[in-house]
Structure 1
Amino acid sequence: MAWLIAHGIVCTMEDPPRVIEDGAVAVEGDRIAMVGPTAEVRARYPEAEVLDARGQLVLPGSICAHTHFYGAFARGMPLHDEPPTNFPHILRRLWWRLDRALDEKAVRLSTLVCLIDAIRHGTTTLIDHHASPSCIDGSLDIIAEAVLEAGLRACLCYEVTDRNGPEGARAGIRENTRFIRQVQRWRATGDPRGDLLAASFGLHASFTVGPETMAQAVAEAQALGVGFHIHVAEDAADEGHSLTIYGVRTVERLAREGVLGPQTLCAHCVHVDTREIDLLARTRSKVSHQPRSNMNNAVGVAPVGAMRAAGVTVGLGNDGFSNNMFAEMKAAYLVHKVHARDPRAMGAEEVLAMAYRENARIAALFWPHPLGVIAPGAYADLILLDYRPYTPLTAANLPWHLIFGIDGSHVTTTICGGRILMKDRQLLTLDEERIAAEARAHAPIIWERFRAIAEAERG
């Protein structure tokens, strides 16, 4: 049975985008059936139930091409150490202690609070990269159950690494393999869980995955017919390690060992050189750009313009920052200008292309129908925003309204797969107050484990 969103300003985000004044979207099942002026759509579906947008913007749900649900408990947490002075310090003193402190309850709660944040800010598709070395087996199922409870769309993987010993590496490989096969069974049998959930094969980064573990992971992924989700050259230390140990730069090593390819997603790529960019393009590997995280970690600014000019698909992620992807768009727009000292760098059209068209190409690795666009046949992942433009809003100037006006705080209604998850800012699938209270109660337990790990490492 079809239902309609009517009387909205529909921004299709097609290439090129259209802006339909008094527009409507017809939804059948989990997909879009028709897009057009309200009068035309209502004439085609005269008996359909109508959700009146009342002049609000109607956009595709945002896509986040790289995130970390597991990092939620870091907010406000004391480090019990001197402030990190570089990226390796940040990893060792914060993230590699926090992930070891996580238990099953923390994995679940950290996922749920991130999903609440995503619904509130209109992010309906998230590509997650998980780590919890103290509870690896079944961890992706815990996350998957939370995603299904929320009603959002997510691609999951476990980051394989050697930093927790050979058994930890083997357990990470097993968890990826098990979950990928499970998703493949869901898809093959028409299980509805396979409509929302997808899987890739996670690797942490070149500098924490040795040749034996890498070869095992590549063999498993090739047998399963999937690609990888891996951090690449986020910091110069990754390149330095690869040159010292393997005699080649990071992307060259990953290409040589069979990690790169059209199904592989490389997060960051801040320090890639021209040869590595050429390898990313020739292997048709995808890249996600996380400007807020890169600024926060002081690792540098990725050569996004050069990668896109070479034909590399570069999307936009958040690396565990808030799931307000409109904030990520603004950061991308600004940081490249100040880095290049050129106001022409990273135009608003480029940011829109990354956030919608390029992210849609990345999402197409994992789901069979289009995302990030309002068009017949695309998934009905839609958001309504109470943004009231005080200058004309057209297809030509939409990118600048996105950068200088529209924000996740404007989102009033979030829909994923035709299901309304939030209406008029009221969450319908998750109890935010209860989940936040549970997380607050559990945070001191995780923080105490973190403190004990820090003390043990310092001896």
Structure 2
Amino acid sequence: MQTIDKLISAPWIIPVEPQGRVLEDHALAIHEGRILELLPTEEAQARYRPETHRRLERHALIPGLVNAHTHSPMTLLRGLADDLPLMDWLQNHIWPAEGRFVGEGFVHDGTLLAAAEMIRGGTTCFNDMYFFPETTGQVAARAGLRAVLGLIVIDFPSAWAGDAEEYITKGLDIHDRYKGDALLSFCFAPHAPYTVGDDPLGRLATLAQELEIPVHMHVHETAHEVEESVARFGMRPLERLARLGLVGPNLLGVHMTQLEASEIRYLADTGAHVVHCPESNLKLASGFCPVQALVEAGVNVALGTDGTASNNDLDLLGEMRTAALLAKGVSGDAAALPAHTALRMATLNGARALGLGESTGSLEPGKSADITAVDLGELETLPLYDPVSHLVYAASRHQVSDVWVAGRPLLRDRQLTTIDLPDLRRRVADWQRRIAEAD
């Protein structure tokens, strides 16, 4: 018998790749943080001598969820200014609050709260866009989460940088300092076409090619954004980005609620990725991303929550349900975005968009053991005919019992193992008092 670190067995394993497969009464053999094999539980017990064997009697094992777009420190602004249009929300509430409070401490504690919420919801990897990304990376790594740090660029000053040039310089320094960390990777994160000028965008296009990292950007989020671009530049935002060399396999266009048929074909032809944030789009009345049309055209569509100031949670299980239901309603087709496709969007599609598809996003031999266990034995998911259907249409994030990243347990029987929950509660309470007094 071969000695290994860990064996995890469950009634159902949903590897995501190949599409549509559900393995019954199987186990994952894990050693040195990677998946060795998926095999029937009886065979696994005969072949391997694990140091630990986690036996789950009523669970589904899925790849750890990948949140392809969020602003993690903004958890501290959750619910601050709800039920307002996007620009009113940004200009009169969110940006002023950020101007008063954003600094290393805010980013540290906001990211810590986000990390705890994401782990408890089954997320093992997140793609972030915010100021002080080095602080976000430090918190994520200590919590054991896989993080893609958005090297943010914006034309106006913040507590982190004074202008686009300084943002880029600081971002490159962070990339060089942390590129050896196994849990951290990077993307350039110009905020949006309306907040970043042509010169910095053109430079980022060149740097992204040189460093082979993605570009993560809000694009075509609202009709107003498109109208403003036409008035200011004489063209729609996507066309402007294309002329600057930014549209290609390394682009993650977030939101994309305003797309014409020709733009969908162009995204497919260039290999660009779309990150769908359905709940944020609904809450801010930004519009409807044509997900089914994108999928049918061959565009890789991932899922993101956006930040908690506009969602108001980091719940990717909930986001899958909303995405699937919304796609059916928008397309008028009840077969649009079936459960297996929604799960793939929240896992492997996100990993591929972020350049991490070779290491995470599916349960395959050789990949990192980034795994989420969901208890499907609760009354709310009984009777059970199809575990994937229940994951998308019935299960709650409160049914996530265990989470592993690179084989390390971050959540065990609903208990966080890497984050001090009482200390986190005290930190959040202090921020709540300070922010509420100032708003």
How high is the TM-score relative to the length of structure 1?
0.87
Choose the corresponding residue for 1:67, options 70, 80, 83.
70
Please state whether the residue corresponding to 1:200 is helix, strand or coil. Answer: strand
Q: Against the structure 1 CA distance between its residues 224 and 344, is the aligned structure 2 distance closer, same or farther, given a 3 Å change threshold? A: closer
Q: Identify unmatched segments of 5+ residues in structure 2.
A: none
1:328 corresponds to which residue? 319
**Mapping 1:69-148, distance limit 5 Å:** 69-77=72-80, 84=84, 86-101=85-100, 102-131=102-131, 139-148=132-141
Verify the 8 A CA contact 2:64 2:361 in the aligned structure 1. Answer: yes
C-alpha distance in structure 1 between counterparts of 2:81 and 2:38, whole Å: 50
C-alpha distance in structure 2 between counterparts of 1:40 and 1:114, whole Å: 39
**Mapping 1:273-312, distance limit 5 Å:** 273-312=260-299
Q: Against the structure 1 CA distance between its residues 419 and 362, is the aligned structure 2 distance closer, same or farther, given a 3 Å change threshold? A: same
1:192-217 Cα distance to aligned partner (Å, 9 max, x none) = xx221110011011111112232333
C-alpha distance in structure 2 between counterparts of 1:178 and 1:4, whole Å: 40
C-alpha distance in structure 2 between counterparts of 1:315 and 1:95, whole Å: 26
Q: Against the structure 1 CA distance between its residues 123 and 10, is the aligned structure 2 distance closer, same or farther, given a 3 Å change threshold? A: same
Verify the 8 A CA contact 2:223 2:258 in the aligned structure 1. Answer: yes
Verify the 8 A CA contact 1:288 1:314 in the aligned structure 2. Answer: yes
* Farther off after superposition, 31-40 or 98-107: 98-107
Please state whether the residue corresponding to 1:209 is helix, strand or coil. Answer: coil
Please state whether the residue corresponding to 1:205 is helix, strand or coil. Answer: coil
C-alpha distance in structure 1 between counterparts of 2:349 and 2:416, whole Å: 29
Please state whether the residue corresponding to 1:208 is helix, strand or coil. Answer: coil
Higher strand share: 2
* Farther off after superposition, 384-393 or 373-382: 384-393
2:207 corresponds to which residue? 220
Q: Against the structure 1 CA distance between its residues 279 and 95, is the aligned structure 2 distance closer, same or farther, given a 3 Å change threshold? A: farther
Q: Against the structure 1 CA distance between its residues 159 and 94, is the aligned structure 2 distance closer, same or farther, given a 3 Å change threshold? A: farther
2:433 corresponds to which residue? 444
Verify the 8 A CA contact 1:3 1:26 in the aligned structure 2. Answer: yes
- Aligned-pair CA distance for 1:111: 0.2
1:191 corresponds to which residue? none
* Farther off after superposition, 297-306 or 368-377: 368-377
Match for 1:431: what amino acid?
A: D
Q: Does 1:390 align with 2:379?
A: no
Match for 2:409: what amino acid?
A: I
Choose the corresponding residue for 1:40, options 43, 64, 83.
43
C-alpha distance in structure 2 between counterparts of 1:76 and 1:355, whole Å: 24
1:247 corresponds to which residue? 234
Q: Against the structure 1 CA distance between its residues 442 and 392, is the aligned structure 2 distance closer, same or farther, given a 3 Å change threshold? A: closer
Choose the corresponding residue for 1:198, options 163, 170, 185.
185
Verify the 8 A CA contact 1:251 1:272 in the aligned structure 2. Answer: no
C-alpha distance in structure 1 between counterparts of 2:287 and 2:335, whole Å: 19
- Aligned-pair CA distance for 1:351: 1.8
- Aligned-pair CA distance for 1:448: 4.8
Please state whether the residue corresponding to 1:438 is helix, strand or coil. Answer: helix
C-alpha distance in structure 2 between counterparts of 1:47 and 1:130, whole Å: 41
C-alpha distance in structure 1 between counterparts of 2:42 and 2:15, whole Å: 17
Q: Against the structure 1 CA distance between its residues 392 and 54, is the aligned structure 2 distance closer, same or farther, given a 3 Å change threshold? A: closer
Choose the corresponding residue for 1:6, options 9, 30, 33.
9
Give the count of matched residue pairs: 426
Q: Does 1:377 align with 2:366?
A: yes
Verify the 8 A CA contact 2:7 2:50 in the aligned structure 1. Answer: no
2:300 corresponds to which residue? 313
- Aligned-pair CA distance for 1:142: 0.9
- Aligned-pair CA distance for 1:341: 4.6
Please state whether the residue corresponding to 1:430 is helix, strand or coil. Answer: coil
1:356 corresponds to which residue? 347
Q: Identify unmatched segments of 5+ residues in structure 1.
A: 132-138, 187-193, 452-459
* Farther off after superposition, 230-239 or 98-107: 98-107
Match for 2:130: what amino acid?
A: H
* Matched-pair identity in %: 31
Please state whether the residue corresponding to 2:29 is helix, strand or coil. Answer: strand
Please state whether the residue corresponding to 1:380 is helix, strand or coil. Answer: coil
1:166-190 Cα distance to aligned partner (Å, 9 max, x none) = 9332222122212222233x1xxxx
Match for 2:90: what amino acid?
A: L
Verify the 8 A CA contact 1:124 1:416 in the aligned structure 2. Answer: yes
Verify the 8 A CA contact 1:413 1:421 in the aligned structure 2. Answer: yes
2:33 corresponds to which residue? 30
- Aligned-pair CA distance for 1:368: 6.7
Match for 2:150: what amino acid?
A: C
1:110-129 Cα distance to aligned partner (Å, 9 max, x none) = 00000000111111011111
